[in-house]
Amino acid sequence: MPAARIIPCLDVADGRVVKGVRFRDHRDVGDIIEHALRYRDEGADELVFYDITASADGRSVDLAWIERVAAVIDIPFAVAGGIASVETARDVLSAGADKVSVNSPALERPRLLAELASAFGRQCVVLGIDSLIDDDGTLIVKQYTGRPESSRSSGRQTIAWAVEAASLGAGEIVLNCMDRDGVRAGYDLVQLNALIAAVDVPVIISGGAGEMTHFADAFRSGASGALAASVFHDRRIAIGDLKNYLSYEGVEVRR
């Protein structure tokens, strides 16, 4: 099995890194480049940048900061934010990103995933799923979550959408568990296990990391990567210490 991936997540709004709780009440946590350099130096395996308001605002991600990030780091990074066409994806990849991540645009037009996979290879295509537990316990997919006033149900269920997306060409899936986002109570292993059992592509878990044990639990459940934000941004967990801990726990990590 490939080594577990530790992936800091950087939500971007108005050119700054921000962090919210359950996708609301975002606070400014710093400069994009400073964060990218710090995580490169600390040993992150990859980075993910989400321009969180791009889709809700009907625009695509700003290429200028992608180029600035690509100029200073040498680890892979993915970018998401209003990538609704092959042409926009090509611009993002040409600016220096290694992968494109799509969420709301794919919900609007699922064939986008097939088009991206055909143009760039499915290894470049990441599907983000913002998953919420509905009142009746159903896992539903939300879209336009970057702005609370725009957020709405997509009318799709999480597992069914993941299966369809993987069949269309998504090369990996990031499961954003909205109920756990920013609360540091641990990843939702029930959702994670259900998704891993349903698809044949790598699954990255996001939402809920608060302690090193939470990462170990996710990797033992079969996650390919673990996304986290506030515990890294606020220096509650150092990536080097986390990798030492995981290695001691028998989880293979990249050095």
Tell me how far apart the alpha carbons of residues 213 and 253 are, in angstroms, rounded to a whole number.
15
Catalytic choice (45, 51, 130, 217): 130
Among this protein's residues, is 188 annotated catalytic?
no
Among this protein's residues, is 130 annotated catalytic?
yes
Sign of the CA dihedral 25, 73, 62, 227? negative
Tell me how far apart the alpha carbons of residues 226 and 214 are, in angstroms, rounded to a whole number.
9
The helix-helix angle for 86-94 and 63-72 (nearest 10°) equals 40
Extract the tokens encoding 80.
Answer: 């998401």
DSSP-based three-state secondary structure for 155: strand
Cα-based distances in Å from 112 to 13, 43, 85, 100: 24, 33, 7, 12
Could you tell me if 122 and 169 are in contact, meaning their C-beta atoms sit under 8 angstroms apart? yes
Other C-beta atoms within 10 Å of 121: how many? 11
Tell me how far apart the alpha carbons of residues 97 and 39 are, in angstroms, rounded to a whole number.
16
CA 143 to chain CA mean position, Å = 14
* Residue 177 bridge partners (DSSP): 131
Catalytic choice (11, 45, 51, 217): 11
Q: What is the DSSP letter of 49?
A: E
Q: Would you please indicate which residues are annotated as catalytic (active-site) residues?
A: 11, 130
